[in-house]
Amino acid sequence: MATIGILGAGTWGTALARLLYLNGHSVTIWSAIPAELETMQQTHRHPKLPGVEIPDGLRYTPDLCTACSGTDLLVFAVPSVFIRQVAAAAAPYIAPETILVSVAKGIEPETFFSMTDVIRDAIGETANPLVALSGPTHAEEVGVDLPTTIVSASDDPAAAETVQRVFSNPFLRTYTNSDVRGVELCGAMKNIIALAAGVSDGIGYGDNAKAALITRGMVEIARLGEAMGCDRATFYGLAGIGDLIVTATSRHSRNNRAGYLLGAGRTAEQAVQEVGMVVEGLNALPAALGLSKRYNVELPITFGVNEIVHGADPKTIVNRLMNRAYKGE
């Protein structure tokens, strides 16, 4: 049995906490909002996870020291924009042998750091193994034990295998991967492409256009990843095309929903308000544009989404993308 702290009581952190507890581990959930924890403890429900029952044995705390101390694994499940702040605050309580697991998907715009890079930078020079856990996973489905696959990525094979063992059960199959940068890049960039797919739906275009945007979007992500030294195979595996498919097509996807609203004429602010949760694709845009410039890689779909977010006509942008001339497929 492992002792695990989950930093973040959102839908994904809660779904993983439930899974890990049912796997036989001791799990404590932390949130900076005590009322959020009190509601979950009293009702055994998360307000944004209908139909998901939270087990009685989970523990809750608003105290970082309690959540971090004595843990074998510490899971960072807060939105990407809060990862640095939470990691820095947690640093004094993290033992050097604790495996640090990031399930957040994003790129820090100021540094172009991945989330595991941000955690490492925020906690300082330590020997803690770092793992990125990413893949085609919706909390709404993991929370009710629907079959799911996920990728445990680390440059420390033992840490990746430990996370694989701790998280795996008959419903969640966990694979390992050593291409941490590629896995994390996919997790951030696919949200932008999912916005584009949603925009296409919001305009009223059909499955043909959406399939084209998804497929060319994956090529776009892989092109950037190769320029950054990532393994091309990563982009056509679960962490790449798998995660992109689920995010760009699912009714559970915040990014797809936000894109749909943009396509239907909402502003970015209105779309986020209607979705009611963090839309990581919008957070990832500044870093994606910066990476494009740094590595001299053209990202036409990403550029188009950025134009739409800043007020350009969605139909004009999607039409331009669909009529763009490409060499080869």
Give the residue numbers marked as catalytic. Answer: 190
Which backbone phi and psi does 114 adopt, to 5 degrees? -75, 175
Alpha helix segments (H runs only) across the chain: 11-22, 34-43, 64-68, 83-90, 115-123, 139-142, 157-167, 180-203, 207-227, 232-235, 243-249, 254-263, 268-275, 280-295, 300-309, 314-322
CB-side neighbour CA atoms (13 Å) of 131 = 30
DSSP 289: H
Instruction: State CA 318 to chain mean position distance.
Output: 25
CB-side neighbour CA atoms (13 Å) of 201 = 21
Instruction: Report the alpha-carbon distance of residue 246 to residue 235 in Å, rounded.
Output: 14
